[in-house]
Structure 1
Amino acid sequence: MRALKLLALLPFATLLGGCDFVVLAPAGDIAVQQRDLVLISTVLMLLIVLPVMALTVFFAWRYRQSNTTATYEPDWDHSTQLELVIWSAPLLIIVCLGALTWMGTHLLDPYRTLGRIAADRPIEGKDAPLNVEVVALDWKWLFIYPDYGVASLNEFAAPVDRPIRFRITASSVMNSFYIPALAGQIYAMPGMETKLHAVANKAGTFRGFSANYSGAGFSGMHFEFKSTSAADFDKWVAAAKSSGGMLGRSDYLQLERPSENEPVRLYGSVDRDLYKAILNMCVETGKMCMSEMTDIDAKGGLGREGLNNTLPLAYDKYARRGAPLGSEPTFVAGICAIDEIKGAPTREVNAPFDMTPLRGVGLKRPPFSPAHPSSTSLLLGQRTKSDS
């Protein structure tokens, strides 16, 4: 009967043979250091866990009811030597884990520029980083290569032993950018930019995906990472350029719409300011960029003059923009086009004339100012209300 139970477990053991231990067999220096951090931390913790588990079994067996030869000491309650072992060993392990975590947190900071290509090869002046702009869409990944003027959908390529500098954002909801063979995961959030530095030391094709659930098409939100030689990467860029695809703002707005299991697509040319517009959430024509809005707010805002400029802001990822408020997209209108903002001199924006908050009954009436005709109607309205 026992043999039959063991045979019944064999199919499950076969399934375990299909597991991919890529985290423990990475292809990049950053991922290798992260693997070592996991292994060392696990071993340090097992130094306490294993003896405790072994002693639990030992004491349960030695002091079982049927063992009449075990020493019986009902009055024993303290041992200085035993107390030293019980408290000093975990304390030392905690100190080691704390030091290891502190060093790993700083040395493996995703925002930190790489200091080496591999353990035996430091960064040199000729090792120019590969800049890649990553956009998490619903439910696909867009990669823009600003230095080459190309882009790809659901496929990422990089040469071996070349530092990679990622700039990561998202179009709608939060995702998590993760290539286990290359580096740890980092979040992609709309209106924000995160960074990641990594390097691949082995050629091959590896899997990348979102490690953060983001809706119905999440299961298909993965891509291939192609780690190639420098010559093969140049061929990949040449193939992208010859594909003839163009990724402009209108093309991006179509691509931004939610879709599942999109095939690999290459773009031979990309709007050079597309990523900046995506990050500032102003890809649509006439929409105010987030950077422009924060700049205006930092200088005091537009006051009452800015009220008419503010339109309802809505986002519905199934109908793209503005579905709850009608078929037309609604957003905060821009004062000028993004091309006009570039190189424009800094403008001083006057703050509202009266910053006194309205707190209810008992406030003094606002002073009449000919520069603000609306104050006349306000005074008239208050008089009419008080007279009645």
Structure 2
Amino acid sequence: MTSNDKETPSPTAIVRPDLKELAKHLGVSQTTVSRVLNGSAKQYRISEETQKRVLAAAAKLNYKANVLARSLRSKRSKTVGVMVPEISEGYSTAVLGGIEDVLLLSGFFYFVVSHRHHADLLREYPSLLLSRAVEGIIAVDSVLEEDLPVPVVAVSDHHHRPSVVNIELDHMLAAHYALEHLKRLHHSEIAFIKGQTFSSDTLARWRAICKVAAELDIEVNPRLVTQLDDHGLGTEPGRAATVRLLERGEHFTAIFAFNDLAAIGAITVLRESGIKVPEQVSVVGFDDILSAGTNNPPLTTVRQPLQEMGRVAATTLLQMIQSERQEWPKHPIRVLPAFVERQSTAAARGRGAVQGKNFNSQGN
């Protein structure tokens, strides 16, 4: 080899800098470099210019963090588990979106498991997630029966326990929004579709509705109350519940449904039976899912801040992971609903809906 020849180092000869050397090269602290590379720069208000410098230098110098070794030394996996009833349009997906927003920015990985409210899976999943070294668990509309050795945040779980921090909607305010709206439109014969028996929100929301109805002097007629079936997905439980209402032959001018999917199912059945929405029957939903605004007609609904609830849950869990147990929130964290008025409600005109016992959803 001549003096002008240049030798290309083999891959094994490449020396990668460690975190300390990379920070020294940039003239910043190791903490700053770590926060940028872990995706938490925004959380700590690190300037975009510094972020770009760190990322450019890490790429140029071929810096690679040994995540496994770091987690073993610190006993940190930077992983959490998320339990949801199902992954489909509606409640769970919106909450997951908010959880994802926070975890991705914080450099955390997450496992998502869905259980469809099967008791055996609800029992098994916490242990399964713990075996994956999760540092905490977020339970979305999923009741956990036993205390766990990691922080737990529950979204819409109304079982208050010292070991779990709950994120709850103000159901009283939500009921006021919906029932005051219908009363203002002169609806006095209102049908109600309650949630499934397995949903954590069903009992809390129904108690709020009954209390607010009494305050507003609105009669809750048992013949105009039905409940979503525990089986079935999408709009089907709402369809079946509305068929049962119509088969009873009771007159009503409005429906307040447990969620938007049930409300959309109700509108479908009403239209199939020749009943106009909102001219004859007004329909109010709950949640304000993406399709609520594009439904025909666009759905009047109580907006549950689902993504915000997910963000609050994830932020709270990360704070619990990083703090001592005595610093955990001592009370449920309340979030507030809003009301969205669209075209599925109108003033009561006296005609309403009433069908005989031979009614079916095809109008035959």
TM-score range with shorter-chain normalisation? under 0.3
TM-score normalised per structure 1:
0.24
Q: As a proportion of its length, which structure holds more strand?
A: 1
Structure with the larger RCO, 1 or 2 (CA within 8 Å, 6+ apart): 2
Larger Rg: 1
